[in-house]
Amino acid sequence: MKKRVADIFKEHLGENPPINKPKQKEFGHYAVPIFKYAKENRQNPVEFAKNLCEKLKCEEFESVEPLSGFVNIKLSDKFLDEFANRVITQKENFAKDEKNESILLEYVSANPTGPLHIGHARGAIFGDSLARIGRHIGYKITTEYYVNDAGRQIILLGVSVYLAAREILGLDVEWPDEYYRGEYIKDLAREAIEEFGEDYFKKPLEIVKKDDKKEAVFDKEDLSLWAKDKMLEEIKSDLNDLNVVPFDNWVSERSLYKYWDEVKSILEKNGALYEKDGKIWLKSSEFKDEKDRVVVRENSMPTYLAGDIVYHWDKFKRGLDRYINIWGADHHGYIARVKAAIKFLGFDPDKLEILLSQMVKLLKGGEPYKMSKRAGNFILVRDVVKDVGADALRFVFLTKKADTHLEFDVDDLNKKDSSNPSYYVNYAHARICSIFDNADKKYDDMLGVELKNLSEDEKDLLFFALQLPYVLEDAFNNREPHRLTNYLIDLAGEFHKFYNKNKVIGSEKEDIRLKILAVVGIILNLGLSLLGIKAKERM
């Protein structure tokens, strides 16, 4: 719609001008500044605007008025009706587009050493919604989960399961200073006994002192990898319960280490590394990092950063246009070193965007939400989903920017009133479904209705509903799905206000108003689906 308006102006101005929203609704639907064009034509802006308005009379515009160097436009009923028909015809395909840009979007990537907690859920919902919106408006998006299945945390998982199994079997156990706790470890240990047999766990682990800490000597890699796979199955189940679309790729950190020597030689060739204190360091301080970072330890083993460098080398080799990582906010300090490595590898670090997701504070009845016994000291995603449902959880997570702190009381998500935004939006959609049921009509029946002689209320509601394409572009380009959520809340508010003021069934304008409500209903349904939420038809 906005593009059509810009194209009409282009015929007279030679280019598409900026199309703005007027400061006051009564000024019209769009305002176009013409100062630049008046100056180019050496005319007074007021006179230029008056002359331009005379040339702009067309069926798309009800009125075109000059005001203080702007041209204000009110769209015609016929023009709005054309787009209303487009919405009703296309339904879930409305606002779809094609863009020539490929994006690799990596998110969640939680360590497979435990179930998903509520902090992981925010990044998962953020990334999934961003992918849904981006794909709808035409970006070629590949989603990816980077599995940290190498290194110390996977060894610790194996140690924890092994010792828990010994404890279950009534054998002596000496615990190291670091290990994973929680009922889920005991559950894994019981399964491991069934899988590997009791004899597998008979030998006690050797405990050694290292840097004043007790560590377990552990060489049962098969158990560690088995436990990791079990946790990945659980993570996939949790993501499914959150209605996160299955990832296109699951990339194993472990599988990438075979390329470390190749990547290391590229870094050496590009002058990125040096040796000091028996370690190999990356010159990351040359690219805004606060200090250089170790990539190979004294024992010749690559560090976690080395694994990330190989992973980003693998990513950039794929030749996509853009790469987006969604990380927890605690990884903020990691950004500069990764971008430095990308630069040293010969790639453009500006092609990598890193979006941060803040932690969440949950309350229940005004008190801190109870930690899961199963996970020890975390709030599990599955517990909250059982409490309020995935749709309500997704909605509240998407009401704020992902990089801002979020605190909410889960009891509020079960409220059935306007204080609960998820309920408020769903109620608007269910109300429209009910109106059509009572009228014994379907959305498609409205295609034969011509919108004409629209009141200001009718025109305002329809115009607001037709803004979805611009909201989607804005939400994706700014990487802020909450803009769509807030738009749906506002649209629901406009609908409720309209319906409370205007009779629909039995009025002289029944069909016209039903057609407008059909557009609103389709937009609410589509908007919610792009947030990963199924719109309710009955409430």
Q: Where in the chain is the domain with CATH 3.40.50.620?
A: 103-149+233-357
Q: Which fold has domain 83-98+417-530?
A: Isoleucyl-tRNA Synthetase; Domain 1 (1.10.730)
Reported as a single tens digit per residue, the pLDDT across 479-525 is 999 999 999 999 999 999 999 999 999 999 999 999 999 999 999 99
Return the amino acid letter for 359: M
- Given the candidates 3.30.1360.70, 3.40.50.720, 3.40.50.2300, 3.40.50.920, the CATH classification of the domain at 2-75 is 3.30.1360.70
DSSP 362: E
Question: What's the pTM?
Answer: 0.94
Give pLDDT, residue 323.
98
Task: Tell me which residues of the chain have a pLDDT lower than 70.
Answer: none
Q: Which helix (H) or strand (E) holds 5?
A: helix 2-13
DSSP 501: H
Give pLDDT, residue 378.
85
Give pLDDT, residue 136.
98
SS3 for 211?
Answer: coil
- C-beta of residue 160 within 8 angstroms of C-beta of residue 201: no
Give pLDDT, residue 40.
82
Reported as a single tens digit per residue, the pLDDT across 225-276 is 999 999 999 999 999 999 999 999 999 999 999 999 999 999 999 999 999 9
Give pLDDT, residue 39.
82
Distance, in Å, from the CA atom of 286 to the CA atom of 487, rounded to the nearest integer, reads: 43
Q: Quote the strand ranges of 273-372, DSSP E.
A: 273-276, 279-282, 293-296, 322-328, 352-357, 360-364, 367-368
Q: Where in the chain is the domain with CATH 1.10.730.10?
A: 83-98+417-530
CA-CA-CA-CA torsion sign (426, 429, 433, 436): positive
Give pLDDT, residue 35.
77
Q: Where in the chain is the domain with CATH 3.30.1360.70?
A: 2-75
Distance, in Å, from the CA atom of 324 to the CA atom of 138, rounded to the nearest integer, reads: 16
- Given the candidates 3.20.20.140, 3.40.50.620, 3.30.750.24, 3.60.20.10, the CATH classification of the domain at 103-149+233-357 is 3.40.50.620
Give pLDDT, residue 293.
97
